[in-house]
Amino acid sequence: MCGIMGYVGTRQALPILLDGLRRLEYRGYDSAGVAVLENGTVEVRKSAGKLSVLEGVVAREPLAGRIGIGHTRWATHGKPTDTNAHPHGDCTGRHVVIHNGIIENFLVLRERLQAEGHKFRSDTDTEVLAHLIEAEITKMPADLKDRLAAAVRAAVAQARGAYAIVVLSADQPDRIVAVRMISPLIVGIGDGEMLLASDIPALLPHTRDVLVISDGEMAIIEPGRVRITDLDGRPLARSPERITWDAAMAEKGGYPHFMLKEIGEQPRALHETIMGRLDELHRVELDGVRYPEGFVERLDKVWVVACGTAYHAGLVGRWTIEHLARVPVEPELASELRYRSPLIEGTTLAIAVSQSGETADTLAAAREARAHGSRLLAVTNVVGSTLAREADDVLFIRAGPEIAVASTKAYSTMLVALQMLAVDLGLRRGVLAPARAAELLAGLRHLPVLAQDVLSRSGPVEALAERLAGLEHAFFIGRGLDYAVAMEGSLKLKEISYLHSEALAAGELKHGTLALVTRDTPVFALVTQRAVYEKTIANIQEVRARGAEVIAIAYDDDREIAKHAETVLRIPPVDDLLAPVLAIVPLQLFAYYVAVRRGHDIDQPRNLAKSVTVE
Ligand code: AGP
């Protein structure tokens, strides 16, 4: 998730761009850059690192001009380096592009453009757009009034993916052209000036009148004028809206807390995780994962190492990989692995799961596994993180920056990444029938829509939280994958609500913990695993017999469950292997609403840090 900024008007562009980028820094950054049009020439300054590094660069080499674009990068393709920072130019340096999102078919486009003689400087997917625009604009008649817009339209017609792009060109130095395809883009309407940004906070110092660009729309901004068209160039009539949020709310996209914003971002994040990795022929293509010849066939054990929420994702990964790829998987808490003389060998794959890629325990365990000869595969969110740099293979979860300490969208995207990995391993090992793989991949593709559906059911979850906000103890039970989700649901509640909660394999209750179950200990029962449905119902009966209130998480088509639970939080029916991605959502929301009722600091709970870089 990158930050985009554009300005055209009567003031100097540079300070406005830098201020806007500063306000977008919460979207994550590993590099930044600006381009300003000066005397008919596009001047670019960019650098790896925080915005302050770029500020140092422009202090040494200033830029003057009343039209410009700026970008903070959150890398998806290519390491965070000076060269990979945006803006990216074409061969002539006359056209520059900034971009938020992913161009799925960039490799094919790049090869074609290289064959046509275009010279590439970076490893990014973005650069293909600059060269495509260069190729297209030369085909446009010189007297065509909107030739830049026409060239951009012709370029994006060749690109596949989710993106927002902003283009500045010396050919038409009075305008900026932008296109939105899924990634956010907003026009700010000023007095004799126009702005563009990927989020509203960057616009608020200048205007509260905005036009939110929709998917498949183009915006052409000039001083005092904005035109919106579709991708065939047909003009669209749009009216601005007035923003009434304060700056703090605007940074959170209108949400009161980052955690709620990130819970709400899950459909988009899931979409990005999957995008470009499942092809039409039901194959999985995991960019960044390249096992050596024969490795998968010889593979005799998989270790999953991680901490906290990432470990809980690893537990789902264990179940799914064993089930689909028929290879033993040992999930291990990263802080434990090092001290148990693990039996790790060259025929072993260690999967280290970490949102930040910087968790000290996870890094230590990953290094330990590697030192024993294991191949190391990282599942992480942060391109350029230590884990990503040290691993043999990397599968990025593409969740975008996660700011709240309580991990939500990183968890669900880790699940999907591990599920894709499991299908891929199963197919490569020849133990997963292609028809079953196709079924699962179709299910994965549909998850973002279903996750949106679950989010739309937040009302009953909030009402439940209101009623149970004063509770002191809670239990979460489930079997198989439901048990793994129970662990994550319980952790979410603990870390932001500060109440005692425990997750148990439902069948284990009667071996001790049942003694703690009373009418004052609500029990959340996950009931999505059809193969053990009756067994879980029997466990529900055990707790109800002790007076506990049961809140079940179950499928819409489960007609039985209402007889066994006081409250049922429903999710749409899916393949049981994919259910964790949906079942966690009501539990995340419940934890959030309880913590809000209890008046806690949601985004920075006491005693906890987002990234634990000490052992
Ligand atoms: C969960 O909400 C926590 N933030 C925590 O358990 C976290 O998942 C853990 O510290 C691991 O972090 P990582 O994914 O960045 O390695």
| Helices within 138-219 (DSSP H only) | 147-156
Quick one: pLDDT at residue 199?
82
Q: Read off the pLDDT of residues 501-538 as tens digits, 9 standing for 90 and up.
A: 999 999 999 899 889 989 999 999 999 999 999 999 99
Q: Which of 495, 524, 466, 502 is nearest to 600 (CA)?
A: 495
Q: 257, 355, 381: which to mutate for ligand 1, most atoms within 8 A of CB?
A: 355
Residue 407 CB–ligand 1 contact under 6 Å: yes
Q: 257, 309, 403, 601: which to mutate for ligand 1, most atoms within 8 A of CB?
A: 309
For residue 411, the CA-to-ligand 1 centroid distance in Å is 9
Name which residue sits closest to atom 8 of ligand 1, judged by CA. 309
Say whether pLDDT at 80 is over 90. no
**Given the CA of residue 355, which atom of ligand 1 is nearest to it?**
14
Q: How far is CA 514 from CA 539, 540, 548, in A?
A: 10, 11, 10
Exactly one of 2, 46, 252, 307 is catalytic; name it: 2
For residue 254, the CA-to-ligand 1 centroid distance in Å is 25
Q: Taking a C-beta distance cutoff of 8 angstroms, is the pair 572, 554 a contact?
A: no
Measured distance CA(298)–CA(257) in Å, rounded: 47
Q: Give catalytic status of residue 119 as yes or no.
A: no
Q: Taking a C-beta distance cutoff of 8 angstroms, is the pair 540, 532 a contact?
A: no
Exactly one of 50, 79, 301, 610 is catalytic; name it: 610
Q: Taking a C-beta distance cutoff of 8 angstroms, is the pair 228, 238 a contact?
A: yes
* Long-range residue pairs from 48-56, CB within 8 A, at least 24 positions apart, any chain: 48/80, 48/81, 48/82, 48/84, 48/85, 50/25, 51/18, 51/21, 51/22, 51/25, 54/18, 54/21, 55/18
For residue 595, the CA-to-ligand 1 centroid distance in Å is 19
**Given the CA of residue 356, which atom of ligand 1 is nearest to it?**
15
User: Which whole number is the average pLDDT over 295-304?
Assistant: 95
User: Which whole number is the average pLDDT over 354-364?
Assistant: 92
SS3 content of the chain, % helix, strand, coil (to 5): 40, 25, 40
Instruction: Please give the distance of CA 168 from its chain centroid, rounded to a whole number.
Output: 28
Q: 359, 383, 385: which to mutate for ligand 1, most atoms within 8 A of CB?
A: 359
Name which residue sits closest to atom 2 of ligand 1, judged by CA. 406
Quick one: pLDDT at residue 276?
85
Q: 304, 307, 337: which to mutate for ligand 1, most atoms within 8 A of CB?
A: 307
User: Which whole number is the average pLDDT over 344-372?
Assistant: 91
Q: Read off the pLDDT of residues 394-404 as tens digits, 9 standing for 90 and up.
A: 999 999 878 89
For residue 604, the CA-to-ligand 1 centroid distance in Å is 13
Residue 406 CB–ligand 1 contact under 6 Å: yes
Q: Read off the pLDDT of residues 568-577 as tens digits, 9 standing for 90 and up.
A: 999 999 999 9
Residue 386 CB–ligand 1 contact under 6 Å: no
Quick one: pLDDT at residue 287?
86
pLDDT band at residue 247, thresholds of 50, 70 and 90? low
Residue 495 CB–ligand 1 contact under 6 Å: yes
Q: Which of 335, 284, 265 is nearest to 585 (CA)?
A: 265
Q: How far is CA 596 from CA 266, 406, 461, 550, 553, in A?
A: 20, 14, 13, 22, 22
Element counts in the chain: helices (H) and strands (E) = 19, 25
**Given the CA of residue 407, which atom of ligand 1 is nearest to it?**
2
User: Which whole number is the average pLDDT over 308-316?
Assistant: 98
Residue 612 CB–ligand 1 contact under 6 Å: yes
For residue 343, the CA-to-ligand 1 centroid distance in Å is 26
Q: Which two tokens stand for residue 610?
A: 């987002």
Scored b (16 or more CB within 10 A) or e, 258-270 reads bbbbbbbbbbbbb
Measured distance CA(200)–CA(261) in Å, rounded: 14
Instruction: Please give the distance of CA 88 from its chain centroid, rounded to a whole number.
Output: 23
Question: What is the chain's mean pLDDT, rounded?
Answer: 93
Residue 356 CB–ligand 1 contact under 6 Å: yes
For residue 393, the CA-to-ligand 1 centroid distance in Å is 21
Measured distance CA(516)–CA(509) in Å, rounded: 10
Q: Taking a C-beta distance cutoff of 8 angstroms, is the pair 358, 402 a contact?
A: no
pLDDT band at residue 1, thresholds of 50, 70 and 90? low
Q: Read off the pLDDT of residues 187-220 as tens digits, 9 standing for 90 and up.
A: 999 999 999 998 888 898 999 899 989 889 999 9
pLDDT band at residue 280, thresholds of 50, 70 and 90? low
Measured distance CA(7)–CA(463) in Å, rounded: 45
Q: What angle do CA 261, 266, 270 make, to 5 degrees?
A: 150
Q: Give catalytic status of residue 91 as yes or no.
A: no
Q: What angle do CA 488, 493, 495 make, to 5 degrees?
A: 90
**Given the CA of residue 312, which atom of ligand 1 is nearest to it?**
8
The sign of the CA dihedral 596, 598, 601, 605 is negative
Residue 355 CB–ligand 1 contact under 6 Å: yes
Higher pLDDT, 139 or 400: 139
**Given the CA of residue 612, which atom of ligand 1 is nearest to it?**
10
Q: What angle do CA 15, 19, 23 make, to 5 degrees?
A: 170
For residue 36, the CA-to-ligand 1 centroid distance in Å is 40
Residue 601, classified by CB atoms within 10 Å of its CB into exposed (0-12), middle (13-18) or buried (19+), is exposed
Omega before 87 cis (within 30°)? yes
- Give the length of the chain: 615
Residue 362 CB–ligand 1 contact under 6 Å: yes
Q: Taking a C-beta distance cutoff of 8 angstroms, is the pair 391, 357 a contact?
A: no
Place of tokens 């010849």: 293
- Edge-to-edge strand list for the sheet holding 567-571: 500-505, 473-478, 523-526, 550-555, 567-571
Quick one: pLDDT at residue 385?
83
For residue 566, the CA-to-ligand 1 centroid distance in Å is 32
Which H or E run contains 443? helix 434-455
Scored b (16 or more CB within 10 A) or e, 60-71 reads eeebebbbbbbb
Residue 405 CB–ligand 1 contact under 6 Å: yes
User: Which whole number is the average pLDDT over 10-26?
Assistant: 91
Q: For the whole model, what pTM was predicted? A: 0.76
Name which residue sits closest to atom 5 of ligand 1, judged by CA. 308
Relative to beta strand 348-354, strand 375-380 is parallel
Say whether pLDDT at 73 is over 90. no
Quick one: pLDDT at residue 594?
97
For residue 310, the CA-to-ligand 1 centroid distance in Å is 6
For residue 510, the CA-to-ligand 1 centroid distance in Å is 31
Residue 604 CB–ligand 1 contact under 6 Å: no
Residue 307 CB–ligand 1 contact under 6 Å: yes
User: Which whole number is the average pLDDT over 549-578?
Assistant: 97
CB atoms < 10 A from the CB of 356, how many? 20
Percent of all residues in the chain with a pLDDT value above 90, rounded to a whole number: 77
Could you write out the DSSP letters of every residue in 342-366? ----TTEEEEEEESSS--HHHHHHH
**Given the CA of residue 410, which atom of ligand 1 is nearest to it?**
14
Percent of all residues in the chain with a pLDDT value above 70, rounded to a whole number: 97
Scored b (16 or more CB within 10 A) or e, 517-536 reads beeebbbbbbbbbeebbeeb
Residue 611 CB–ligand 1 contact under 6 Å: yes
Q: 387, 407, 415: which to mutate for ligand 1, most atoms within 8 A of CB?
A: 407
For residue 492, the CA-to-ligand 1 centroid distance in Å is 11
**Given the CA of residue 492, which atom of ligand 1 is nearest to it?**
2
Q: Which two tokens stand for residue 218?
A: 């183009």
